[in-house]
């Protein structure tokens, strides 16, 4: 059973998410009502995935993401919010979010997203992907001293496209009929060629360069 924490400032929302997740066979090991409580809960319970709202009092979700990144936490964070503002999406991804869904998502989609992140993948709702593309077209993600992009092979582009679709390493291996270790090797090379620190950054770079269509 996948273990998660839920961070949201509204008790009723937390209770609703807990109930839905437990029906889907996902265990909620802790709840938090702001970013500071979320960071503490992650440290104490070491969940496989953290579900986090962005707009919370005192310390918000972005603050929590930045704290977790500074601490070197390996727990993937799935942002679950009502906001799909372009700038907010980019801030969350820059801060280390591995998934971004809106609260109108179905329980089946939410449970799938939790599974994807627990398996090491990334996942974003279609509307959030649209927001990213708009922001990237406007140049908001471009860094001043960005290194030139090294050419990716057709296979590496296939792997990166599946990452962008939210596939885990195991799922990518199944789709491309590769060993999971081979997929990991491809991803290491992709990170090096794109000058990226993680999978999400590599997808953002590839989208900006028009490599993923």
Name the nearest CA neighbour of 161 among 174, 145, 177, 172.
Answer: 172
Q: How far apart are CA 73 and CA 65, in angstroms?
A: 9
68, 39 Cβ separation under 8 angstroms: yes
Say whether pTM exceeds 0.85: no
213, 203 Cβ separation under 8 angstroms: no
Please compute the mean of the pLDDT values over residues 85-98 and round it to a whole number. Answer: 81
pLDDT tier for residue 148 given thresholds of 50, 70 and 90: low
Query: How high is the pLDDT of residue 145?
Result: 45
Exposure letters 128-164 (e unless 16+ CB within 10 A, then b): bbebbeebbeeeebeeeeeeeeeebeeebbbbbbbbb
163, 202 Cβ separation under 8 angstroms: yes
Q: In what order do the strands lie in the sheet with 49-52?
A: 27-32, 3-7, 49-52, 77-81, 99-102, 123-124
Name the nearest CA neighbour of 140 among 88, 80, 192.
Answer: 88
pLDDT tier for residue 196 given thresholds of 50, 70 and 90: confident
């Amino acid at each position: 059973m996948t273990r998660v924490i839920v961070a949201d400032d509204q008790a009723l929302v937390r209770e609703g998410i807990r109930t839905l997740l437990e029906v889907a066979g996902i265990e909620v090991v802790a709840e938090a009502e702001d970013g500071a409580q979320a960071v503490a809960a992650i440290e104490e319970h070491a969940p496989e995935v953290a579900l986090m709202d962005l707009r919370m009092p005192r310390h918000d979700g972005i603050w929590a993401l930045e704290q977790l990144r500074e601490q070197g936490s390996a727990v993937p964070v799935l942002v679950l919010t009502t906001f799909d503002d372009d700038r907010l999406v980019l801030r969350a991804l820059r801060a280390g979010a591995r998934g971004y869904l809106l609260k109108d998502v179905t329980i089946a989609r939410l449970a799938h997203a939790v599974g994807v992140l627990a398996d090491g993948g990334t996942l974003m709702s279609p509307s959030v992907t649209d927001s990213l593309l708009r922001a990237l077209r406007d140049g908001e993600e471009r860094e001043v001293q960005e290194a030139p992009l090294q050419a990716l092979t057709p296979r590496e582009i296939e792997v990166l496209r599946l990452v962008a679709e939210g596939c885990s390493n195991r799922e990518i291996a199944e789709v491309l009929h590769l060993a999971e270790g081979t997929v990991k090797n491809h991803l290491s090379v992709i990170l090096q060629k794109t000058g990226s620190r993680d999978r999400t950054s590599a997808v953002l770079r590839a989208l900006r360069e028009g490599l993923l269509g």
